[in-house]
Structure 1
Amino acid sequence: MTPPLFTLPAVLDATRGRAEGVAAEAINSISIDSRELGPDALFVAIKGDRFDGHDFVDTALANGAAAALVSEGRSAGPGRIHVADALDGLRDLGRAARARSRAFIVGVTGSVGKTTTKEALRTVFEAAGQTHASIKSFNNHWGVPLMLARMPENAQFGVFEMGMNAPEEIRPLSRMVRPHVAVITSIAPVHLEGLGSIEAIARAKAEIFDGLEPGGTAVINADHGQLQLLLDAAAAAGVANVITFGFARGVDWQILDPQTDASASSATILHGEESYKLGLAVPGRHMLSNATAALAVAHLAGIAPEVALRALAGLAAQPGRGERLRLGPDDKPLLVVNESYNANPVAVVAALSVFGQIEPAGGRKVLVLGDMLELGPQADQLHAGLADAVRDSGAERIYLVGPHMAALAAALPDAVMAGHFPSAAEAVNVIVDDLAYGDALMVKGSNGVGLSRLVSAITTRFGQS
Structure 2
Amino acid sequence: MSALWTRDDAVAATGGTSPRDWVASGVSIDTRSIAPGDLFVALSAARDGHDFVADALARGAAAALVSRVPEGVPADAPLLVVGDVLDGLRALGRAARARFAGRVVAVTGSVGKTGTKEMLRTALGAQGSVHAAEKSFNNHWGVPLTLARMAPDCDFAVFEVGMNAPGEIAPLAEMVRPHVAIITTVEAVHLAAFRNLAGIAREKASIVRGLEPGGAVVLNRDTPTYPVLLAAARRAGVRPIRFGATGRPEYRLTEVLVEGPVTCGAAVAGRRKFYYRLAAPGRHLAMNALGVLAAVEALGGDLGRAVIALGGWQVPEGRGARWRVSLGPGGIDGSITVIDESYNANPAAMAAAFEVFAAVRPEDGIGRVSRGRRIAFLGDMLELGPEEQRLHAGLAQVPALARISTVHCAGSRMRALYDALPGGQRGEWFADAEAMAAKVPRLVDAGDIVMVKGSNGSRVGQVVEALKRLGDARPADAVE
Normalising TM by the smaller chain, what interval? Answer: over 0.9
1:104 to 2:100 alignment: no
- What is the Cα deviation at residue 299 of structure 1? 1.1
CA spacing shift, 1:393–1:296, aligned 2, 3 Å: farther
Count of aligned pairs between the two proteins: 460
Take 1:306 and 1:416, find their aligned partners in 2: how far apart are those partners? 45
CA distance in 1, matches of 2:249, 2:441: 46
**1:58 corresponds to which residue?**
54
Query: Contact between 1:261 and 1:284, CA under 8 Å: does it hold in 2?
Result: no
Kindly indicate whether the alpha-carbon contact (under 8 Å) linking 1:263 and 1:283 is maintained by their aligned counterparts in 2: yes
Higher mean C-alpha displacement, 428-437 vs 111-120 = 428-437
Give me the TM-score of the superposition, normalised by structure 2: 0.93
What's 1:259 paired with?
Answer: 257
**Is the 1:196–1:376 Cα contact (8 Å) retained in structure 2?**
no
Task: Report whether the alignment pairs 1:42 with 2:39.
Answer: yes
Give SS of 1:193's match. coil
Gaps spanning 5+ residues in structure 2: where? 365-371, 475-480
Secondary structure in 1 matching 2:403: coil
Hey, what's the Cα distance between the residues in 1 that align with 2:348 and 2:242?
20
Q: Distance in 2 between matches of 1:202 and 1:262?
A: 34
Q: Distance in 2 between matches of 1:330 and 1:92?
A: 57
Letter in 1 for 2:31: S
1:235-292 Cα deviation digits (max 9, x unpaired): 22221x1101112131111111111133111121111111111111111111001111
**Structure 1 CA distance for aligned equivalents of residues 400 and 88 of structure 2:** 51
TM-score by structure 1 length?
A: 0.96
Task: Give the conservation status (yes or no) of the 8 Å contact 1:261–1:354.
Answer: no
Q: Which of the residues 283, 286, 295 maps onto 1:285?
A: 283
CA displacement 1:379-418 (0-9 Å, x = unmatched): 0111111112266452212101111111111211122211
Quote the Cα distance in structure 2 between the aligned partners of 1:56 and 1:181: 38
Whether the 8 Å contact between 2:169 and 2:203 is mirrored in structure 1 is: yes
Q: CA deviation at 1:213?
A: 0.2
| CA pair 446-369 structure 1, distance change in 2 beyond 3 A | same
* C-alpha deviation, 1:178, in angstroms: 0.2
Report the Cα offset of residue 458 of structure 1.
1.2
What are the within-5 Å matches in structure 2 for residues 270-309 of structure 1?
270-309=268-307
Aligned residue identity for 1:38: A
1:405 aligns to what?
Answer: 414
Alpha carbons of 1:390 and 1:399: their partners in 2 closer, same or farther (altered >3 Å)? farther
Map of 1:201 onto structure 2? 200
3-state SS of paired residue (1:385): helix
Q: Which runs of 5+ in 1 are unaligned?
A: none
Tell whether the 8 Å contact from 1:34 to 1:60 is kept in structure 2 after alignment: yes
The reply on whether 1:449 has 2:435 as its aligned counterpart is no
Query: What residue number does 1:94 align with?
Result: 93
| Shift in Å, 1:104 | 0.5
Match of 1:323?
Answer: 321
Deviation at 1:189, TM superposition (A): 0.3
1:141-181 per-residue CA deviation (whole Å, 9 max, x = no partner) reads 00000001101011100000000000111111000000000
Displacement of 1:121: 0.4
- Distance in 1, matches of 2:412 and 2:245, equals 35
Asked if the contact 1:269–1:277 (Cα under 8 Å) also holds between the matched residues in 2, the reply is yes
Counterpart amino acid of 2:231? D
Say which SS state the counterpart of residue 135 (structure 1) adopts.
coil
Partners of 1:55 and 1:32 in 2: CA distance? 12
Closer/same/farther in 2, CA of residues 351 and 393 from structure 1, 3 Å limit: farther
> What is the CA–CA distance in structure 1 between the aligned matches of 2:57 and 2:194, rounded to whole Å?
41
Is the CA contact 1:320–1:338 (under 8 Å) kept in the aligned structure 2? Answer: yes
In structure 2, C-alpha distance between the alignment counterparts of 1:251 and 1:331, rounded to whole Å: 51
The match for 2:478 is none
User: 1 CA distance for matches of 2:96 and 2:170?
Assistant: 19
SS of the equivalent of 2:257 reads strand
Is the contact between residue 268 and residue 278 of structure 1 (CA under 8 Å) also seen in structure 2? yes
Please give the alpha-carbon distance, in whole angstroms, between the structure 2 residues aligned to 1:64 and 1:17. 22
- Corresponding residue for residue 431 of structure 1: 440
Distance 1:415 1:134, change over 3 A: same
**What corresponds to 1:219 in structure 2?**
218
The answer (yes or no) to whether the contact 1:175–1:210 under 8 Å persists in 2 is: yes
Counterpart of 2:26 in structure 1 is: 29
Match of 2:383 among 374, 380, 385: 374
Alignment of 1:220-259 (within 5 A): 220-239=219-238, 241-259=239-257
Residues in 2 aligned to 1:65 and 1:245: alpha-carbon distance in whole angstroms: 45
Give the secondary structure class of the aligned counterpart of 1:87.
Answer: helix
- Following the alignment from structure 1 to structure 2, what is the Cα–Cα distance between the partners of residues 390 and 62? 56
Q: Secondary structure at the match of 2:181?
A: strand
Asked if 1 retains the 8 angstrom alpha-carbon contact of 2:375 and 2:406, the reply is: yes
Q: Is 2:333–2:446's contact at 8 Å kept on the other side of the alignment?
A: no
- Hey, what's the Cα distance between the residues in 1 that align with 2:258 and 2:401? 16
- Is 386-395 or 63-72 further displaced after alignment? 386-395
Structure 1 residues 390, 43: CA separation in 2 closer, same or farther (over 3 Å shift)?
Answer: farther
Which aligned segments of 4 or more residues in structure 1 are displaced greater than 6 angstroms?
A: none
- For the pair 1:185 / 2:184, whether they are aligned, the reply is yes
TM superposition shift of 1:196: 2.3
Asked if 2 retains the 8 angstrom alpha-carbon contact of 1:128 and 1:303, the reply is: yes
**2:340 alignment partner, one of 338, 341, 364:** 338
Supply the distance in 1 between the matched residues of 2:332 and 2:191 (Cα, whole angstroms): 43
Secondary structure, counterpart of 2:422 in structure 1: coil
Moved more, 255-264 or 442-451: 255-264
Assess if the C-alpha contact under 8 Å between 2:355 and 2:400 holds in 1. Answer: no
For 1:372 and 1:146, the matched residues in 2 are separated by: 28
1:56-205 to 2 correspondences below 5 Å: 56-72=52-68, 77=75, 78-205=77-204
What corresponds to 2:426 in structure 1? Answer: 417
Check the 8 A contact 2:186/2:201 in 1, yes or no.
Answer: yes
Distance in 1 (alpha carbons) for counterparts of 2:54 and 2:36: 17
Cα deviation for residue 303 of structure 1 reads 2.1
Which segment drifts farther, 434-443 or 73-82? 73-82
